[in-house]
Structure 1
Amino acid sequence: MSAGTLTAVPVGAGRVDRTVAGRAMSLAPLVGAGLGLGAALVLLAARALDLPGLLAAALAIGVLALLTRGLHLDGLADLADGLGSGRPAEGALEVMRRSDIGPFGVVALVLVLLVQVAALGGIAEASPAAGAGAVVAAVVAGRLAITLACVPGVPPARPEGLGAFVAGTVPWGAAAGASAGALAAAALAGLAAGPAFAAGCAAAVAVGAGAAAALLHRARRRLGGITGDVLGALAETATTAALVTTAIAAQAG
């Protein structure tokens, strides 16, 4: 279920209930590692062909959008429109249900994609190995944000939909294990560019989780809890914050 929910990879349908959903959300960072590896391979191939770092980064981020069917980006746009509407919770949720994208959503998408490509492009231009590590760490951070949003105590914003199905399904122990695994995976991904950058990649996961936590707090106050769109927005927010952090780490190194 984890791969089927978080990627465009077709998987066989099996038993699906909240217990299975909890396991799937706990494994989200592992799915992120796979997605990040795919993007990293595209980045490395582009740089091996001597393409500019910015173009290589754009291709890598584009592959991520393709592999996820753009669902997380769509969630980001929908949440931006809902929060930007200034309406009470029910009205904001109604805005988020619409299939069109409003001005707040457009601005959020443009800004996030611009920052992601610029941050990753700068790293890849200086060091393809660091760029590969950065994108893996960032995507892992994005999926960890989804895991952490599904712990007990975080309610759904409405009684139906993906948010209601996965809310509160990830036990605290599983969340802690996923966090430790995400930190380790990020550090390992960055190790090819040196120990200092590996530490920066691990720090990027923590920064990404913090940025997502701030957005989650805002969503809970305005909407009452999580929805599928909120989870997507959390993933993109954490990914972006993590990429900016790895860019800073690359500069410092």
Structure 2
Amino acid sequence: MSRFFDWREPILAVQFLSRIPTPQIHDFEPALLAKSVGWFPAVGMLIGALLFGIAYTSSQLDPWLAAILGLAFWTWVTGGLHLDGLADMSDGLGAAHRDPARFLAVLKDPHLGSFGVLSLIIQCLLKLVLLMLLVRQQQLAALLLIPAWARSGVFIWQTLPALAPGMAEQFAWKKNSTLAVFWGLVLLAASAWFSPALLAAPMVLIAYRQWLKAKLGGVTGDCLGAGIEVSESAMLLIAVLGTGIIGAIHS
């Protein structure tokens, strides 16, 4: 493999984060998963581009149709990976409100509890409504960047200590501040051009890290997945509110 570029890293990033078809990797190495983190924002851009295409095409018929199809695709293309993390973390937090030690034990339980179910319902409804509002405001360009911003959050969240062996620990094997800065600059420049409200995206990612630090003292793989879902909803809200505020000022 090239010293400067290993084609398996972006392929693995796509495989891990989505259902998009890719070439098969025959010589997989565990360390590759950690190295592939640098390509997470690129996968987010790919997902965003596909999401934009579906939402834009269907928005010509009806905003609600665009929102429903957009949410369905968003859920399918990720395989529900991050929604699963959100549900597991919600169950853990709900069961551990009186006994913090139970948090990790609940995360290992494959069954879905009431807190997890409620979090999935609320998250999907929130995304559905916000997608519809974004379509109605004709601000679909934000969809090109929101998935990428959310996945770049892993650069920030993985700086917390891993609470248990697993994905969070593996991602921490390879911390690359250069890639984090590169993607941050790319996404800031793209946000300034396509959706200025998303210039506030880094504050969402940092706020989630601070919440994890204060509430749990660290991070797990489920927390990373939940963070992507929470960040996407928060950025959809920011894009919707930002557009409304800018419109009110101009009027």
Q: Matched residue pairs, number? A: 232
> How is 1:62-211 mapped onto 2 (pairs within 5 angstroms)?
62-86=72-96, 88=99, 90-127=101-138, 130-131=139-140, 133-151=141-159, 154-159=160-165, 161-188=166-193, 190=194, 198-203=195-200, 205-211=201-207
Q: CA separation of 1:34/1:16 partners in 2, compared to 1, >3 Å: closer, same or farther?
A: same
Q: CA separation of 1:109/1:215 partners in 2, compared to 1, >3 Å: closer, same or farther?
A: farther
> How is 1:4-23 mapped onto 2 (pairs within 5 angstroms)?
4-11=15-22, 12-13=24-25, 14-18=27-31, 20-23=32-35
Residues 34, 170 of structure 2: 8 Å contact kept: no
Residues 211, 237 of structure 1: 8 Å contact kept: no
Q: CA separation of 1:21/1:236 partners in 2, compared to 1, >3 Å: closer, same or farther?
A: same
- SS across alignment from 1:241: helix
Q: Which residue matches 2:208? A: 212
34, 56, 62: which one aligns with 2:46: 34
What are structure 1's unaligned runs of at least 5 residues? Answer: 191-197
Q: CA separation of 1:170/1:124 partners in 2, compared to 1, >3 Å: closer, same or farther?
A: same
1:250 matches 2:243: yes
**Distance in 1 (alpha carbons) for counterparts of 2:215 and 2:53:** 34
One-letter amino acid of the structure 1 residue matched with residue 162 of structure 2: P
Percent identity at matched positions? 25
- TM-score norm. by structure 2 comes to 0.84
Compute the displacement of 1:150 (Å): 2.3
208, 222, 228: which one aligns with 1:229: 222
- SS across alignment from 1:80: helix
226, 232, 235: which one aligns with 1:239: 232
1:45 matches 2:57: yes
Compute the displacement of 1:147 (Å): 2.6
Compute the displacement of 1:172 (Å): 2.2
Residues 35, 67 of structure 1: 8 Å contact kept: yes
One-letter amino acid of the structure 1 residue matched with residue 237 of structure 2: V
Q: CA separation of 1:241/1:101 partners in 2, compared to 1, >3 Å: closer, same or farther?
A: same
What are structure 2's unaligned runs of at least 5 residues? Answer: 1-11, 247-251
**Distance in 2 (alpha carbons) for counterparts of 1:138 and 1:2:** 17
One-letter amino acid of the structure 1 residue matched with residue 148 of structure 2: V
**Distance in 2 (alpha carbons) for counterparts of 1:115 and 1:44:** 19
Q: Give deviations 1:9-45, integer Å, cap 9, x for gaps.
A: 3442244243x33431122111101101111111011
Residues 140, 186 of structure 1: 8 Å contact kept: no
Of structures 1 and 2, the larger Rg is shown by 2
Q: CA separation of 1:207/1:55 partners in 2, compared to 1, >3 Å: closer, same or farther?
A: farther
